[in-house]
Structure 1
Amino acid sequence: MPWQNNEDGDGSDGKGGGRRSPWGGSAGSSGGPGNQGKSGQGDGPRNPWGEPPRPRGNDDRGRGSGTPDFDEFIRRSQERLRGLGGGQGGGSGGGSGRSSGMPDIPWGLVAGGLALVLIATTSAYRVDAGERAVITRFGQYNSTSGPGFHLKLPAPIDQVTKVKFEDIRTDLIGATDGDAENLMITGDGNVINIAYAVRWRVNNAENFLFQIANPEATVRDATESAMREIVARSTLNNAIGPERAAIAEQVRERVQEILDSYGSGVLIQGVDINKADPPAAVDEAFKDVSAAQQDAQQFLNQARAYAQQVQAQAAGATAAFDKVYEQYRLAPEVTRKRMYLETMENVLGKVDTTIIEAPGVQAYLPLPEVQRRAAANREAQEAQK
């Protein structure tokens, strides 16, 4: 090679046994660039960028020749990338300058392991009984899964949102303790204080999450709107009386229609009217009216019971007459005479005077007088004995 030792001893520096530098200069045989002052040459070897070589630090002591600064820069950059810092050991006897006692860390394997752990922990999920899991891919709805163990794409590609699917939720509207009033106007112009509860659950998880912003508030508002609508079509007596159950059922149907039109994914289980009273200011007067209505209803019930009793008696008499009529059709004369005798027996059995109209029979028989005389004769005979 052009920079190896010259065996003929005709080096350009005028000294035998010299060697040529690849950059066009010469170096003394007794040392590297750091010894140029001793070789009698003032210009020394030059690097390809036209700058003189810089003095080496303690890292290069013991080396036979200098290393270009570019290689040193590459070596130190690699060390920094490995996280080992830029510290240099002060070793002697031709030390390489690398830090000792710190092994190289395989950062690629570490990063790959962390990625595998992240994928494993975010790709599997479990859905409990009574729940539904809604999967979104890049924020858009993808699928719905039921109870069990499932797999998905790792986060942040797929995200899981769990919804309590079978839990019955109850919202109370209006106060039942008398502290606050929830007043509504009935169809006949009266005011009523009403408190009620709505029971509902989720029947479509994706619609429940994405169709409406606040499902709980929507259910409450829809229930209150439906209750005011139904009460406005009812009278006060129906609202506080026996029609409360029918009103609650109408409200449930109306609320379900409203929520279905929104696509809310909510199923109304029922509406319960817990309180339906007049306002507190007129509560006593309404209680008196209610008591009078109860009395009137009691009298009506008694009248209906008496009417049913009379109707039963009339039905029995009619059945008896039908039986007599059947016998009369078979033997009219005999039946007529029997009916006459039975009737006369019932009438004359309660009087003292008996009149018999028959040929050869005395028209008047003083039966009570005859009976008194017979009784007196029996008493006289007993006295003689």
Structure 2
Amino acid sequence: MAGSPWGPKGGDDGKGSGGGSGDGGGGKKPGPRNPWVSPDPVDINRGRKPRGPSALDELLRKGRGNFGGGGSDGGGGMQLPGDGRLWKWGIGGALVLALAFSSIEIIGEGQAGVVTTMGSYSRTMGPGINFKLPAPFESVKVEDVQSIREMKIGATSNESRNFVLTQDQNIINLGYEVRWRVRDPHQYLFQIADQENTIKEVAESAMRATVANYTLTDAIGPRRAAIEGEVRTRMQQLLDKYRSGVTIEAIQLQRAVQPEEVTDAFNKVTAAQQERESNINSAEAYASAQLETARGAAASFDKIYEEYKLAPEVTKRRLYYETMETVLAPVDKVIVESGGVTPYLPLPELKRRAAPATEAAQ
């Protein structure tokens, strides 16, 4: 078996294989190398360059990498194929989703969206799903255009003060409420800077201008509804001139009283005004009665004149008798013709004397 390629290498057991040889070294000539056994490090280092990985090894390494297998080139961790490209695709997908979501704007019922392109007004969106350019090219400001907003101004409590001068130079402490809503969101957002403060100042100006045309009594009681309507009209006209995009729904006076500092003086003024009204009413009643009496006398004279034109003598005699009866009725005298005078019985005097006795008996 000495010549077999699978036998032991020459020189390994030369001590027991025979004597001398023809090489003069006393050793046995080595036989053929086994191709299935890795060469010894000694053979590799004998002036030959180490071989690189074979094509089969490279293919197996790539296969393990594609299936998440551990590599032998250090690290021992999971190696993902194309790590750089995967991160790029992830970032790109996130950007696409962000742009898609920023291009959709959902406007609720009773709302409106004001679209601005790079800060400049573009259009107004209605309720529903709307599309726009992604941020930062276009942005949307959503505004409620349906709800009624309330603003309390002036004397809302006993301690607060909001003095307003009336037409009759009196002072009144006013508290009121303004109810309004946004009609045009474009004008509301772009035409006035401080919307609520502007509405408040307009309301105060309109209220002072209106109350200046009413007396204190009217402002406190019977003319409050008229004041509310006039203030609403003034406010709407002024806000429309400003192009504010606001509609005033209602004005409600909640507090209208005289200041506590002038309560006594106000009560005296009220009493004097009531007395004046009473005297005026009495004078008007007296004048009306006198006028009716004069009208009745004139009508009676007209009737007598008609009779006089028909029978002047008879009418004059009748008027003479009626006048004498009226004049002589309260006089205690009896006029008789001369001759044949009978004794006079003073019946009127007896009647006067009998009257006190009758009243005392009663």
- TM over 0.5: same fold? yes
Name the counterpart of 2:115: 136
Instruction: Report the Cα distance in structure 1 between the residues aligned to 2:313 and 2:179, rounded to whole angstroms.
Output: 78
Amino acid at match of 1:161: V
Matched, 1:66 2:46: no
Matched, 1:164 2:156: no
Name the counterpart of 1:293: 273
Q: 1:213, CA displacement in angstroms?
A: 3.2
Partner residue of 2:204 out of 220, 224, 227: 224
- Bigger relative CO (Cα 8 Å, ≥ 6 apart): 2
What are the equivalent positions in structure 2 for 1:186-205 lying under 5 Å apart?
192-205=172-185
Name the counterpart of 1:42: 48
Instruction: Report the Cα distance in structure 2 between the residues aligned to 1:41 and 1:122, rounded to whole angstroms.
Output: 73
Which stretches in structure 2 are left out of the alignment for 5+ residues? 1-34, 72-77, 81-88, 348-362
Name the counterpart of 2:155: 175
Residues 300-320 of structure 1, C-alpha deviations (whole Å, 9 max, x = no match): 223223323333333344344
Residues 118-159 of structure 1, C-alpha deviations (whole Å, 9 max, x = no match): 6699466452xxx3523415465444566xx64421574573
Matched, 1:215 2:195: yes
Amino acid at match of 2:144: V
- For the structure 1 residues 232 and 323, does the alpha-carbon distance in structure 2 shift closer, same or farther, using more than 3 Å as the test? same
What is the TM-score with the length of structure 2 in the denominator?
0.56
Greater CA drift, 224-233 or 302-311: 224-233
Instruction: Report the Cα distance in structure 1 between the residues aligned to 2:306 and 2:40, rounded to whole angstroms.
Output: 161
Instruction: Report the Cα distance in structure 2 between the residues aligned to 1:151 and 1:215, rounded to whole angstroms.
Output: 28
Instruction: Report the Cα distance in structure 2 between the residues aligned to 1:366 and 1:176, rounded to whole angstroms.
Output: 95
- For the structure 1 residues 189 and 308, does the alpha-carbon distance in structure 2 shift closer, same or farther, using more than 3 Å as the test? closer
Instruction: Report the Cα distance in structure 2 between the residues aligned to 1:145 and 1:366, rounded to whole angstroms.
Output: 122
**Equivalent pair of 1:354/1:365 in contact (CA under 8 Å):** no
Which stretches in structure 1 are left out of the alignment for 5+ residues? 1-29, 46-52, 57-62, 80-85, 91-96, 100-106, 371-385
**Equivalent pair of 1:355/1:363 in contact (CA under 8 Å):** no
Q: 1:327, CA displacement in angstroms?
A: 4.4
Name the counterpart of 1:26: none
Name the counterpart of 2:131: 153
Larger Cα-atom Rg: 2
Name the counterpart of 1:12: none
What is the TM-score with the length of structure 1 in the denominator?
0.53
- For the structure 1 residues 150 and 238, does the alpha-carbon distance in structure 2 shift closer, same or farther, using more than 3 Å as the test? closer
**Equivalent pair of 1:348/1:354 in contact (CA under 8 Å):** no
Instruction: Report the Cα distance in structure 2 between the residues aligned to 1:155 and 1:365, rounded to whole angstroms.
Output: 135
The alignment partner of 1:66 has SS state of helix
- For the structure 1 residues 269 and 192, does the alpha-carbon distance in structure 2 shift closer, same or farther, using more than 3 Å as the test? same
